[in-house]
Amino acid sequence: MGATGVVGETIVRVLEERALPIERVGAFASRARSGAVRFRGESLDVEPATTESLRNFDVVFFAGGEDASEAFVPALAARGAVVIDNSATFRMRDGVPLIVPEVNPDDIHVEHRLFPVGNCTAIILCTALAPVRDAAGLRCVRVATYQAISGAGRAALEEFDRAEGPIVRNVVPKIGSFGDDGESGEEQKVRDESRKMLGLPNLDVVATCVRVPVRTAHAEAVFFETERETSVKALAAAFERAPSIVFHNEGIVTPRDVEGTDEVHVARLRALRPEPTREFALWCVGDQLRKGAATNAVQILELLVERGVVS
């Protein structure tokens, strides 16, 4: 659902790459297009989404925005379909898990059918911080983000490619609208969803989220405080062990380096006080269309297959 958008298109690519037992795929959007989606060498027609057209699938990925999720998700989940939803609609609802397989796989319970995929910036942040949480605890996170244009969808990307819009030769410190407290919608999502995904409801998180003129992959400058004193060496060892992290002991990594990959890259890890200490900084980068959205969505399905929830 949303197969013609930047996330939907990436979900189709990731499904092609992985060895899931898929019998049939359907492609849906707000309007029909003939042969507009390619899957394993075949052209699929895109159909307009209706409750009727979506009902004959065991698993439905949503990448169509809040309206579409509100309209279709509750009925599908109620009749037992597994729904994996990239919109923000249900992420913070009590009793609904917000799964990043490397961070909180055990939050899945047998009765769950609805699986929102967290905010892309928060997924990249939490994937990078989970090894820190596990090695030394986490008390406080300050993050400044450098977010790619494709994070705002296909229309924004096309505008950028035409060299139009406020982001050309610019950086814009406003993603979503500002609340009464001056925090943007994106900054609020990063705080609330990171707490939920990391399982640390009292974690002190503050973000400043900034759109930058990069096509794909979000970067984040992270300053954090651990619960217990530790060292760069111990944290580096934790990153080296983490399966979905590429740790750069030296040098830098940029959005262009990681476009099209599934890992979160961590670089520039440094202690901010003499060691052992609780204060550190790092730089992390991830393809937000993949690990921040499509790959994470497909990994959730893989977990469900592994656990026998989907056959």
The DSSP symbol for 117 reads: P
**The one among 112, 113, 154, 268 contacting ligand NAP by CB under 6 A:** 154
Contact letters for ligand NAP, residues 34-73 (x by CB under 6 A): ---------------x-------------xxx-xx-----
Residue 26 lies near ligand NAP (rule: CB under 6 A): no
β-strand pairing of 218-230 with 140-146: antiparallel
Tracing tokens 């995929």 back to the chain, one arrives at 117
Please give the sequence-ordered ranges of beta strands (E in DSSP) within the chain, or none if there are none: 27-29, 33-39, 42-48, 59-62, 82-85, 114-116, 140-146, 204-208, 218-230, 245-247, 264-271, 277-286
Contact letters for ligand NAP, residues 132-151 (x by CB under 6 A): ------------------xx
Residue 236 backbone phi and psi in degrees, to 5: -60, -40
Contacts of 65 (CB under 8 A, 6+ apart): 2, 87
Closer residue to ligand NAP (CB): 136 or 300 = 300
Positions marked catalytic = 120, 218
Measured from each CB, the residue nearest to ligand NAP is 5
Closer residue to ligand NAP (CB): 63 or 285 = 63
Q: Minimum Å distance from CB 122 to ligand NAP?
A: 10
β-strand pairing of 277-286 with 27-29: unpaired
Residue 244 lies near ligand NAP (rule: CB under 6 A): no
Encoded tokens for 60: 């439905």
What are the residues binding ligand NAP (CB under 6 A)?
2-8, 29-31, 49, 63-65, 67-68, 86-87, 120, 150-151, 153-155, 288-289, 292-293
